[in-house]
Structure 1
């Protein structure tokens, strides 16, 4: 089938059969009929919305046709399929939609946003009842991460390019040392890139107005040595320069929070912020997001904490817009 009547949100490889790895990526379409099924391949969980309402959660693994809805009222419906999970290895393929989507009015968005980060931005384990119950697959809901919630508040087109366990200079416990966030960010499919199966990302395909950068947590966690502060700060500025070379952004929000046991991140981000100001860059702000008593899986922020983070970030971004109107 062709996918010309499907709207894709997030980083997708659309050079053939649509493939995706990114958390909170989604696709939406209109269809006519009383039932809906999706032919998908790969291990993931999806939040299904039909006609603007939560409908069900779909789990996929092997390639097959997955029934999504039945006994709907006859007529035209709108479906939104949102990826709840992160795909760290491999990718998810969308083979076919039954019935085939019908043309729909092109959606317009007032704002484009991008969120770059690690497991906090993924929404890792945020629906777990406590830090030790459940798995990452069963308790991660990227559609309710602070990033997705902020984008929803702004009715924005958005991307979440986030990679659990990865850092700016080094990854958590030195895992996959070559594949840090800046390296993975170059590719469309983070879970395929170390295998050599991902195209490079075409940065002209999506130009965000606002970019939120929440990186560095994993650089300062885990056993062993951690980055030299000067090296970390320089690498952060280099990444900012790369981002600016690809996009003419309205603003970049540098995010930080307290981390355990070596709570260096807020200090480092403030240092980077001051460094950028001294270089004449006025397109950035530093926002500290409190994350006390994390009770999600492996002591990550839970759903209520993500909501609090989203509320604060939304208010800060809103204030930024209001101030710009007065200038």
Structure 2
């Protein structure tokens, strides 16, 4: 998946025409050589929670991505970021490059390609703490155009989670390695892997360190409710609590909740079983309020043991809801020597194993057939 376009193709164009391209974007109009399209162009589809403003599109949740087709062999994007997000660029389903955006800049996405339609996906692989990204404009050559992608997924999954869902440290093979934004990749999390297997679009409502009722490192057994995933679930932006998400824009077929590791991360300072169960049931009630009676899957963690397993089992039982389901994971699923990345979080190999457990459950609950597809 990683060898469609080489740096020999992309880098010279960035160096050679960047000044001309930037000038065209600044003028906000077409020239004899280029066409300019707004970030909100109808031929560009965004998957994930976003907000529009004067033709631009902003987002900070991990896993938000855009897809379109470019005709004419050339595509550039004017993009900005408030801190330093990492993005993966896929062209015709193959990884072309990974790059970091830390300010307003212009990035050439496709160059020297055939004039036929090429599918482009730009994927935000880091989470909200790394920055808020904004797509301002796109540019093609004078004969170019943007086209909607065809054959896009019909199935939809939302994942509510923490660092594991964010792909924290997935690109590291040493469990003792420190966390670096450059090695975080939600596209390698179990959530993205499962979605690819079922050819489903997905939203990742996830933030490292957050819990149901207690966040990692909190000195109290219960964190302020405004800081937990119970509140973040309602937000358009991970970091900005002032903009409410409009749930009518996107409705999943199923919601997978994978929380609890941070709540119980310190046995000396953690919520009681009753506090945890009540908070979890409140989160399920919130899901029910905005999405109706869709399946909700409550999933445990390979980073936690029997206590979380038992607590989540009680949540499912106490919900008294036949459409709330339990999927249990235990630490024994993963190999300590090979399946952990930064700060002892599951790496890509570990994430694939977790995905392999969730896939048959989704198949049974939703009636989505399993295939011979590779879990990757």
- Same fold by TM (over 0.5)? yes
Cα separation, 2, equivalents of 1:166 and 1:228: 17
Displacement of 1:138 in angstroms is 1.1
State which drifts further: 140-149 or 85-94. Answer: 85-94
Local SS of the residue matching 2:62: coil
Confirm or deny: 8 A CA contact 2:47 2:66 kept in the other structure. Answer: yes
Structure 2: gaps of 5 or more residues: 1-37, 370-376
Q: What is the TM-score of this pair, normalised by structure 2?
A: 0.78
Q: Equivalent of 1:179, from 219, 227, 238?
A: 227
Confirm or deny: 8 A CA contact 1:119 1:164 kept in the other structure. Answer: yes
State which drifts further: 302-311 or 72-81. Answer: 72-81
Q: Equivalent of 1:301, from 346, 354, 362?
A: 346
Cα separation, 2, equivalents of 1:8 and 1:19: 10
Summarize the Cα distance change of 1:183–1:322 in structure 2 as closer, same or farther, 3 Å threshold.
closer
Structure 1 position 165 matched with structure 2 position 209: yes
Displacement of 1:90 in angstroms is 4.2
Question: 1:317 is matched with which residue?
Answer: 362
Q: Equivalent of 1:282, from 300, 317, 322?
A: 322
Cα separation, 2, equivalents of 1:222 and 1:144: 27
Q: Equivalent of 2:159, from 111, 115, 131?
A: 115
Summarize the Cα distance change of 1:87–1:305 in structure 2 as closer, same or farther, 3 Å threshold.
same
Displacement of 1:108 in angstroms is 4.4
Confirm or deny: 8 A CA contact 1:58 1:68 kept in the other structure. Answer: no
Q: What is the TM-score of this pair, normalised by structure 1?
A: 0.90
- For residues 90-135 of structure 1, the C-alpha deviation after alignment (integer angstroms, 9 at most, x for no partner) is 4111111222852325654331110001001111111112123353
Confirm or deny: 8 A CA contact 1:290 1:309 kept in the other structure. Answer: no
Displacement of 1:223 in angstroms is 7.2
Cα separation, 1, equivalents of 2:77 and 2:368: 45
Q: How does 1:212-223 map to 2 (within 5 A)?
A: 212-222=256-266
Superposed CA RMSD: 2.2
Displacement of 1:8 in angstroms is 0.6
Cα separation, 2, equivalents of 1:108 and 1:80: 12
Confirm or deny: 8 A CA contact 1:209 1:249 kept in the other structure. Answer: no
State which drifts further: 130-139 or 25-34. Answer: 130-139
